[in-house]
Amino acid sequence: MVTFTGAGISAESGIPTYRGEGGLWHKYDPNLYASINTFLQDPSYYWSFFRDVRYPMLKKVKPNKSHLALAEIEERGNLKTVITQNIDGLHQEAGSSSVIELHGTTRIIYCMTCSQEYTMDEVFFMLEVQIPPLCSECKGRLRPDVVFFGEALKPQILALAYAEAEKCDFLLVVGSSLVVYPAADIPLKAKRMGAVLAIINKETTPLDDLADYVIHDEAGKVLPRVVKLLK
């Protein structure tokens, strides 16, 4: 089995989704806080968002029952890879060892000139002194290792995810609205290559009709039951 996860799996850890009820983009305009054009012109929007919202949130959250269930299913040998759209690093924190992060990770920040890497903690302390933060080696600009709106996904990461989807027997989608492309192509590719497709989501998705199984419920209620059944 391969799993494809979205913001919904982290919602029960307290990280708001982007588009749903209470979603972040209702409060923060993504054109200002998450677009590559704005980031290159004026990175202060992103860094003030990181300092005031993203960092405090990520310091507080823990993997929830769903992340832990997927790690346990992997441990049992029933799950090969997690492909995630999330940038929060919670799958790895839960113990999943094979994770493809399609949109990168907020936890790594690097210099756009010399590629020196920094942790979130290091950059948070830099932000106390100046916005935008600058590389302590070469004074270059820093950026998070995430895919901003207006940027392409890294081709090698996308190719790896497509390859996993195309050779799996069972693709389980958890907590994704399946509206962001090319990421949402992944379940389609798996299905086209003959995999069984299952979707767990609180709400309907555009691929529900195509799926073999659809469960409209909270991931945190469903996945621990899957673990129980496997046992």
> Which lies closer to ligand NAD via its Cβ, residue 116 or residue 218?
218
Does the annotation mark 216 as catalytic? Answer: no
Helices (H), the chain: 7-11, 24-27, 30-33, 36-41, 44-49, 55-60, 65-75, 90-94, 120-129, 155-167, 185-192, 219-230
d(C-alpha 177, C-alpha 156), whole Å: 24
d(C-alpha 59, C-alpha 126), whole Å: 16
Q: For residue 31, what are the CA distances in angstroms to 58, 135, 224? A: 22, 25, 37
Residues touching ligand NAD: how many (CB under 6 A)? Answer: 28
Residues 62-121 that bind ligand NAD (CB under 6 A): 85-88, 103
Q: How far is the CB of 135 from ligand NAD (least distance, A)?
A: 25
Q: How far is the CB of 10 from ligand NAD (least distance, A)?
A: 4
122 scored as a contact of ligand NAD (CB under 6 A): no
> Which lies closer to ligand NAD via its Cβ, residue 25 or residue 116?
25
Asked if 56 and 74 count as a contact pair (C-beta separation under 8 A), the reply is no
Q: How far is the CB of 183 from ligand NAD (least distance, A)?
A: 7
> Which lies closer to ligand NAD via its Cβ, residue 135 or residue 161?
161
CB-closest chain residue to ligand NAD? 8
Residues 17-36 that bind ligand NAD (CB under 6 A): 17-20
Element (H, E) at 119: strand 117-119
Q: Which residues contact residue 219 at a Cβ distance below 8 angstroms, ignoring those fewer than 6 apart?
A: 8, 9, 12, 66, 174, 175, 200
Residues 161-190 that bind ligand NAD (CB under 6 A): 175-177, 179-180
Return residues touching ligand NAD (CB under 6 A): 6-8, 10-12, 15, 17-20, 85-88, 103, 175-177, 179-180, 200-203, 218-220
